[in-house]
Amino acid sequence: MTSLNSFYRPLRTLMLAGVAVVAISGCALNRGSMPSPDYSGMPAGQGQQSVAELTARYKANPKDKVVAIHYAAALRAAGQSQQAVSVLEISMGFYPRDVDISVAYAKALTAEGRFEQSLQLLDNVIRPEAPDWNALLVKGATLDQLGRNQEARAIYAQAQVYAPGEASIAANMGLSFAMTNELPAAEQHLRRAVQMRGATSQIRQNLALVVGLQGRFEECRALYAAELPPAQVESNMAYVRALLTQQNRWDLIAKS
């Protein structure tokens, strides 16, 4: 029998939702590691422009850790996870004990499917007495992608203690429930997430996907339409229907 996680494998690409793209600067941050930049919800053209601009900035100064972290995030969003890993491997050489670089590197490793290596790195970064919430977020997402969903949710709950009101934590909790086919719970967490600080377009699109997977197509379309151009809305709606066909969920929706 096929596991529910295999049905929801496409959702794994939506994990590690991140928080809002932060301005690239050298300013100090006082809430643990720097929030993970998220380029995943950008239109394709804007994403390509971001990669081009960050490539130039990275080449000009590969030792600039903030630029390296943003560059790697933009590469991951463009599907270049292996290149993102390479960028951050170099940064680890410059900053071997830096939490920001370590968390970004772990995130890139997870995107590349190197889960155990990511977990080992994160366990070396997370201090038991004062864990970094961003590192916890990445660890939870990595556990989710290994199918260890209950462990992941415990990690997200821990992260919420240290960063209450962070949209990325609630969003990843929601996607965790979506991966185990608990769609009402997934929707509940994602609806909370979109009301929180740092809510991104990608989080709102994830809510649309979960609504669509429950068969509420008009509501799903409206949520997508608030974020995307018409052609992309139609493409996403076709994707939702394809997922439902793959999962053979139409009868369940009709009975609900």
Across the range 90-107, mean pLDDT stands at 94
Distance CA 116, CA 30 (A): 29
- For 28-84, give the DSSP string: --SSSSPPPP--TTS-HHHHHHHHHHHHHHHHH-TT-HHHHHHHHHHHHHTT-HHHH
pLDDT, tens digit, 9 for 90 and up, residues 210-255: 999 999 999 999 999 999 999 999 999 999 999 898 876 665 554 4
Distance CA 244, CA 66 (A): 40
The larger pLDDT score, comparing residue 34 to residue 248, is at: 248
Residues above pLDDT 90, as percent of the chain: 68
The larger pLDDT score, comparing residue 44 to residue 152, is at: 152
- Three-state SS string over 177-229 comes to HHHCCCHHHHHHHHHHHHCCECCCHHHHHHHHHHHHHCCCHHHHHHHHHCCCC
Q: Which domains does the chain have, with CATH numbers?
A: 10-26+33-255 (1.25.40.10)
Joined tokens for residue 201: 């377009």
pLDDT at 21 over 70: no
3-state secondary structure of 166: strand
pLDDT, tens digit, 9 for 90 and up, residues 125-136: 999 888 999 999
Joined tokens for residue 63: 């030792």
The whole-number pLDDT of residue 40 equals: 74
The whole-number pLDDT of residue 197 equals: 86
Dihedral sign for Cα atoms in the order 210, 214, 219, 225: positive
The whole-number pLDDT of residue 133 equals: 93
The whole-number pLDDT of residue 122 equals: 95
- pLDDT, the chain, mean: 84
pLDDT at 11 over 70: no
pLDDT at 87 over 50: yes
The whole-number pLDDT of residue 39 equals: 80
CB burial of residue 6 (10 Å; 0-12, 13-18, 19+): exposed
pLDDT, tens digit, 9 for 90 and up, residues 44-59: 778 788 889 999 999 9
- Cα 173 to its chain centre, rounded Å, is 11
Residue 138 confidence class, pLDDT cut points 50, 70, 90: very high
The whole-number pLDDT of residue 254 equals: 46
Whether pTM > 0.95 for this model: the answer is no
- Assess contact for 108 and 76: CB atoms under 8 A: yes
